[in-house]
Structure 1
Amino acid sequence: MSYHETEHMPNLNRNIQTLALLAAVLLVGSNAFVLSPILSEVADGLATDPFRIAWAISAFGAATMVSALTFSGLIDRLPAGRVLGGAALLLALAQVSSGLSQGWLWLCLSQALAGVAVGILLPGTYATAASTASEGREAARLGLVLTGWALSLVLAVPLAAVVTEWLGWRAVYMLLALLSVPVSLGLILALPDTPGTTTTRTPPWRAVRLPGVALLLVVMFAYMTAFYGSFAFFGEGMRNAFGLSAQGTGLFVLAYGLGFGLAGIGLGLVAPKITRGYILLVLFGIAGSYGCWRFALVDPRAAFAGAAIWGILNQLGLNALVVSLNRRAAAARGAVMGLNSAVTYSAVFAGPIIMGPVYAGAGFTAVSGLAAMFVLVGAAFSWKVV
């Protein structure tokens, strides 16, 4: 998959493409994040226990992982607009089904369908963001697109709570579906209508054998395990440290989202050159930010600043690793980004399981300390491949 022939594309077209891809990530992040804060309301509405509703999150993650391994290579062979637009429409269908759920199993199946769509949409978006960028501008383009994650945290999560309070939880999914349709049309219209550079499917076992890909995926797994393992207990850590309400802990999540988003905008302006030294510096910075939480938890202002710095560094780290994987993917960008999504959602599962006993026994500072060790292991592996 290569669209670098768009080097002389007018800036307006580039900007429209970037907005469409950012909207796709916002869509994915919104669907991924909205269920957690309204878990109890959904459980009450379906007359079941919250833990059964939480299984819908697991179903979404598992289906995303399988779909990414199975279908992400479509972006290498078919027009990007059709693949991503079709995936967004499938996500809209899953969201309508979620909103119409009459039981927890129906909701789980609906979110599994959403996972199938996201397993195509997310890796395809990453691959397309890199392949349609000008030479040397991949990090800048991807930084702006990744800002969709921050927007989903800052906007979608609090809005979901407000909509649930006033209109009920079903309205949340209906509104997401209404958002998915114009995003789908935007992707179809904005992205190139030319097929990828290969007509054959690149299976995962072949993509993982591309030079440097396997080791970079190990780095990504260590990096994401540290993040998702820490983020799972971040809110509780802030609440216990400062005696906050759920609304109060949301301010620290907001700080993280703002840091992540501002860093993405900065990357769009600066366009750093991704080198071995750059990646090592960022990974060491992230490890340091995890290690400093034991000092930040003495004062809310320090913790707020620490959350924002954590968000900034995580944007830089994720951006650098995804750009590095894309560079090694050649004509198999979709397949490699599918492997990346599969690894990421494996870390979504593994992180909280690994960190749970640590948090129960020693609290959030111990969790962040172990996360720092995971990132340092990832840095050691990155030295060999970057």
Structure 2
Amino acid sequence: MTNIDQQAIVTAPARMPIPPFAFVLTACIGVIGSNSLALGPIAPEVARALGTSVPAVMTASAAFGLGTAASAVFLGRLIDRHGARRMLLAALLLLGAGLGGSALAPALAALVAAQFVVGIAAGVALPAIYTLAAEVAPAGRESQTIGVVLTGWTLSMVAGVSLSAVLADLAGWRLVYAVVAATAFAAALSVAGSAAGTAAAGASVSQSPFAALRVRGVAPLLAACAAFMTSFYGVYGYIGDHLHGELGLPLSANGLVALSYGLGFGGAALLDRLIDRVGPGLLLPLIFLGVAAVFAVMAVASVSYAAMLAVVLAWGLINHFGLNVLIMRLTALDPSRRGAIMGLNSGVTYLALFVGTIGFGPVYAAFGFAVLPVLAVALMLVAAAFAARR
């Protein structure tokens, strides 16, 4: 065999196209993200229609997060027994039903209950999606495949948030949930027509949902995920109020912040091939240090709206790399327990949503926004230290 033939064999996997099913997974992420981000913009209209307050309406969002975290931790391991595609299909059907219930909710209590059901479905769907992304990725294009799937979050942030407000203005908030429910059922049909995701079916499942923590490398990476996500939610949750309250900008200014972050996060997918060339092993600590540097700049730039838009764009870009490489490393630790591991990852992520929002709130109230990125720098140094462990 000639050297040319050998080189062709070695490089062929890298030229394999990203499978079309990866774009189906992108749409699935978009559906989940659209629900998680939709309530904020339409909360005033929901409160008016249901005769309650905006803070009371936002308890539905808390119910969604609680359901997602609990479901991911305790049900994610079932993905390893029944297969990722089958579990994703069941989760999407439940997701559509919960979204339909949200659209028909006659009172706040019904909306909260429906969103809790949606959270349960999302807690299974997210680890199943990440597991499938790792399974269908061609050799040498793992990062690019996962990156394509992650752009679903950009779709939900850029399109989902904007369209939800428009739909609520034109036809009422119930149509928002009806449209997302229809999209969930359409995604379920696409998943049902695919043969992907059978690799893990039939794997044994431990009685304990925390058994996957015994896999070497899982615990430090989940600790890094906790610090990473807490810093994100803790800072992002208060940018809007900072722009409106401290800089005196209209609420519409928040839309450009979400757009800047989404464009950075989605645009980073074009550079994911660099991760496949370098390899994820040594990159994650460096990426987390890069996130820390962005937070440091944000603390200084927080006095200027234009500077904040530029920093948030860079933040979205580097956060994409951080999430991508974190998922790559976690899914590679033990392919037979990918579902359980990614379930724990999703549980930690949504617990970080709660901790970041609640924990950063008193700091923001007492010292203002500029202190939050400084606190986030400390958390990202912790994340980098855990990510550097072997």
Structure 1 length-normalised TM = 0.93
Counterpart position of 1:35: 39
Task: Tell me by how many angstroms 1:362 deviates.
Answer: 1.4
Residue 252 (structure 2) pairs with residue 247 (structure 1): yes
Counterpart position of 2:292: 287
Counterpart position of 1:341: 346
- Deviations along 1:207-237, one digit per CA (max 9) or x if unpaired, are 0110010111000000000001111101122
Counterpart position of 1:143: 147
Counterpart position of 1:4: none
SS of the residue aligned with 1:134? coil
Query: Structure 1 stretches of 5 or more lacking a match?
Result: 1-6
Q: How far apart are the structure 2 equivalents of 1:302 and 1:382?
A: 30
Q: Residues 104 and 268 from structure 1, CA distance in 2 versus in 1: closer, same or farther, beyond 3 angstroms?
A: farther
Residue 68 (structure 2) pairs with residue 86 (structure 1): no
Structure 1 runs (4+) greater than 4 angstroms displaced:
none
Residue 225 (structure 2) pairs with residue 220 (structure 1): yes
Counterparts of 1:362-373 in structure 2, within 5 Å, are 362-373=367-378
Q: How far apart are the structure 1 equivalents of 2:134 and 2:27?
A: 16
Q: How far apart are the structure 2 equivalents of 1:182 and 1:131?
A: 22
Whether the aligned pair in 1 keeps the contact of 2:22 and 2:136 (CA below 8 Å) is: no
RMSD in angstroms over aligned alpha carbons? 1.9
Residue 65 (structure 2) pairs with residue 69 (structure 1): no
Structure 2 length-normalised TM = 0.92
Whether the aligned pair in 2 keeps the contact of 1:94 and 1:113 (CA below 8 Å) is: yes
SS of the residue aligned with 2:30? helix
Task: Tell me by how many angstroms 1:250 deviates.
Answer: 1.1
Q: How far apart are the structure 1 equivalents of 2:372 and 2:197?
A: 46
Report how many residues are paired: 378
Percent identity for Structure 1 against Structure 2: 37
Counterparts of 1:17-36 in structure 2, within 5 Å, are 17-36=21-40
Counterpart position of 1:235: 240
Whether the aligned pair in 1 keeps the contact of 2:84 and 2:201 (CA below 8 Å) is: no
Residue 56 (structure 2) pairs with residue 60 (structure 1): no
Counterpart position of 1:154: 158
Q: How far apart are the structure 1 equivalents of 2:285 and 2:79?
A: 30
Letter in 1 for 2:383: G
Residue 312 (structure 2) pairs with residue 321 (structure 1): no
- Deviations along 1:9-29, one digit per CA (max 9) or x if unpaired, are x967x4321111101110110
SS of the residue aligned with 1:204? coil
Whether the aligned pair in 1 keeps the contact of 2:134 and 2:142 (CA below 8 Å) is: yes
- Deviations along 1:83-110, one digit per CA (max 9) or x if unpaired, are 2122111111001100100111100110
Whether the aligned pair in 2 keeps the contact of 1:235 and 1:250 (CA below 8 Å) is: no
SS of the residue aligned with 1:303? helix
Q: How far apart are the structure 2 equivalents of 1:286 and 1:383?
A: 15
Whether the aligned pair in 1 keeps the contact of 2:16 and 2:138 (CA below 8 Å) is: no
Q: How far apart are the structure 2 equivalents of 1:241 and 1:232?
A: 15
Q: More displaced, 98-107 or 181-190?
A: 181-190
Q: How far apart are the structure 2 equivalents of 1:102 and 1:270?
A: 48
Q: How far apart are the structure 2 equivalents of 1:217 and 1:156?
A: 28
Query: Structure 2 stretches of 5 or more lacking a match?
Result: 1-11
Q: How far apart are the structure 2 equivalents of 1:355 and 1:150?
A: 24
